[in-house]
Chains A and B, each alone.
Chain A
Amino acid sequence: MSPITRGFHGRRRSDAPGRVPPGQYVTKDFPVLSAGPTPRTALANWTFSIEGGHEPKRWTWAEFQALPAETVTVDIHCVTRWSKLDTVWTGVSLDVLLEGLEHDAAYVLAVCDGGYTTNLPVADLVGGQAWVAFNYDGSPLRPEHGGPARLLVPHLYFWKSAKWVRSLRLRDRDEAGFWERYGYNMYGDPWREQRYAGD
């Protein structure tokens, strides 16, 4: 039994239960959390692809920028307990990227520069739930926050919003990504506090 440290509270839990998932606190910062060195991919070398469908789709940066993009304001929730409200991103919706692509996959594995991976159901990427985002708060997304572009899937814990995303591999099985392999939840719904496997 650890002794209680008088007067220590840790970060204050949120006072906005409807807005903020259980166990989270609201921050005005945007913490930079990485599992490795920041990749620095030149736009001239950047491509984004979706593989595993009837045929692969690939865009260069110029081709990607020519796609219809939208600006969205969303709340984001990190499994390390911080939540950031009303974050503004510009990106291309996965609905646009997957449009016309024939496939029978139920899952994707997102693969990123630097080797990071994470897995998601296709159903959580469509219907206006996910983007490949390249602007944050009105400016080009900085490398430390995942630039040139990252996945943005705000309804799941933010480790699923993979930084430096380069491709989505369509799969019929749910294949554990980097953190999922070590015990993080395969799905990651912050409203059901699905932080770890078995939650």
Chain B
Amino acid sequence: MEPLEAGVLDGNAIGGLLIEVFGTEMTAAVGTCGTCGTASRVAEFAVYQPGLGTVVRCRHCDNVLMVFVLAHGVTCVDLLGLASLVA
């Protein structure tokens, strides 16, 4: 597991966004990566926020788990990289 680069955050940083999307606190939820099968807390996922949107990746294999993009007041949510997410 490579150290995250400076400026990369973790799932804590999107706690508010996740409450908006899921309707409940999610940082302690356990997510399982659909690519490598690693399970971890949402708070421990790698979060990239390049300004265009939020890209959440697995710490172990770097594959995309979730993407959130806000465009014209609508949040597009892609959770296809997760095998499961259990709050």
CB within 8 Å of B: which residues of A?
31-38, 78-80, 115, 159, 179, 182-184, 195-198
Q: Is B67 an interface residue (CB 8 A)?
A: yes
User: Which residues of A sit under 8 angstroms from B78, Cβ to Cβ?
Assistant: 182
A-B contact pairs, 30 of them (CB 8 A): A31-B51, A32-B7, A33-B50, A33-B52, A34-B50, A35-B53, A36-B48, A36-B55, A36-B64, A37-B2, A37-B5, A37-B46, A38-B5, A79-B51, A79-B52, A80-B50, A80-B51, A80-B52, A115-B64, A159-B52, A182-B67, A182-B71, A182-B76, A183-B71, A183-B72, A184-B52, A184-B69, A184-B71, A196-B72, A198-B72
A-facing residues in B29-75 (Cβ within 8 Å): 46, 48, 50-53, 55, 57, 62, 64, 67, 69, 71-72, 74
- Inter-chain pairs besides A79-B51, A182-B76, A198-B72, 8 sampled, C-beta below 8 Å: A34-B48, A80-B50, A182-B53, A182-B71, A183-B72, A183-B74, A184-B69, A196-B71
Residue of B nearest to A79 (CB): B52
- The main secondary structure of chain A at its interface with chain B is loop
Interface size on B, residues (CB 8 A): 22
Across chains A and B, the number of contacting residue pairs, with CB separation under 8 Å, is 55
User: Which residues of A sit under 8 angstroms from B50, Cβ to Cβ?
Assistant: 33-35, 80
User: Which residues of B sit under 8 angstroms from A182, Cβ to Cβ?
Assistant: 53, 67, 69, 71, 76, 78
